[in-house]
Amino acid sequence: MSAIRTINVSLGDRSYPIVIGNGLLNGGFDLTDFVPGSDCLIVSNDVVAPLYRDRLLPNLSGKAISTLDLPDGESHKSMATMRTVLDQLVSKGANRDTTVIALGGGVVGDIAGFAAACYMRGVAFIQVPTTLLAQVDASVGGKTGVNHPHGKNLIGAFHQPRVVMIDIDTLSTLPDRELRAGLAEIIKYGAICDIDFFAWLEENMAALLERDTEALVYAIGRSCELKARIVADDERELGRRAILNFGHTFAHAIENCQGYGEWLHGEAVAAGMVLAASLSDIAEAENERLQALVAAAGLPVKAPAIAVDEWLRAMGLDKKVQNKQLRFVLLGALGESMLTSSYDAGKLRRILGGSAV
């Protein structure tokens, strides 16, 4: 077991630690101090639960545990699935001191967190993310929710966890495609606000793909540090936090147009970042540098073929839209980003048209 690294998300009385290391499951990190009552509901899915649920139980010694396994996949991130979590809480007679624990990837965390936010107007919530994407993005910051048939994450709430426990040992069973998808969100942090981290990724991408423990701990930790800092400044995405959506306006449109689950979220983010960089006013050499890093991670640099009008329809449901005006997170340079409604509309159509049939 390596040394535990702890990063604090500073939100006043809603502050919480992100705990990173290996060997944290099987009782390696005690979660009971973050559980206000005696009852816990572990929400997982039918892929992760057989691998890790029994290994989580020693971290909750002395607590009364009930469990619920959801179907796996983005296509199940819906109100119907979320209601099964609420139904389980009701059927077990859960009180306001019950704790909901998400064990799984971003879909599990978003659904379980949204249910925790809604049940009795809010019960305690713990994140135990088991995918790289969830460890560096979805589990941190308190965004919870589900998809609507017409748009991604349109229904949800902000609900901060009590603690995020990241055991990188769970990445040993993660399929290669899922690992690469998580690397997209890691690349994002370097692109939007940390050029030194971006350069480190260029030097260490091979080690990350080989699942080198030291490289993973550093990359996950640095990503969480950057996100924690941004969330502490802007918890409810009223300003600076929006830069975390770099590439996501395009990515969510890809997922919506292709069907949820056809492209993994990280794959769509990768192609979306390339499109956002192309729309940005940056040097071509920097654009090429971003594309090269995305490609080195084994991620797509080209979006699927979507008609321009379909792109614009899907992007019109983006949560950053104001007064029916699209806003994008664009780069001023690698490592510098901003949310803006000032962009070349003709250039946008040309970029989108490059993917059209």
What's the pLDDT tens digit per position in 95-105?
999 999 999 99
Q: Residue 344 maps to which CATH number?
A: 1.20.1090.10
What confidence score (pLDDT) does residue 321 get?
Answer: 85
Same domain for 69 and 145? yes
Strands (E), 71-159: 99-104, 124-129, 143-148, 151-158
Q: How many CB atoms lie within 10 A of CB 325?
A: 9
The total of structural domains in the chain comes to 2
Residues marked as catalytic: 121, 143, 185, 227, 237, 241, 245, 248, 252, 265
What confidence score (pLDDT) does residue 357 get?
Answer: 45
Which tokens is 318 given? 């983006």
Q: Residues 270-292: what's their mean pLDDT? A: 97
Q: What domain range includes position 209?
A: 199-353
What confidence score (pLDDT) does residue 200 get?
Answer: 98
Longest pairwise C-alpha distance within the chain? 62
Same domain for 125 and 221? no
What confidence score (pLDDT) does residue 77 get?
Answer: 95
Least confident of 26-35, 71-80, 314-323: 314-323
Same domain for 286 and 339? yes
Whether 48 maps to a domain, the answer reads yes
Has residue 40 got a pLDDT over 90?
Answer: yes
Whether 179 maps to a domain, the answer reads no
Residue with tokens 């308190």: 142
What confidence score (pLDDT) does residue 2 get?
Answer: 65
Q: Which residue has the higher pLDDT, 2 or 18?
A: 18
Nearest to 207 by CA among 195, 199, 215: 215
Whether 66 maps to a domain, the answer reads yes
Whether 337 maps to a domain, the answer reads yes
| Amino acid residing at 96 | R
Q: Residues 50-63: what's their mean pLDDT? A: 98
Same domain for 237 and 318? yes
Distances (CA, A) of 101 to 34, 68, 264, 315, 354: 11, 10, 24, 33, 43
> How much is the pTM?
0.94
Same domain for 167 and 43? yes
pLDDT in tens, 229-252: 999 999 998 889 999 999 999 999
Same domain for 35 and 139? yes
Same domain for 119 and 25? yes
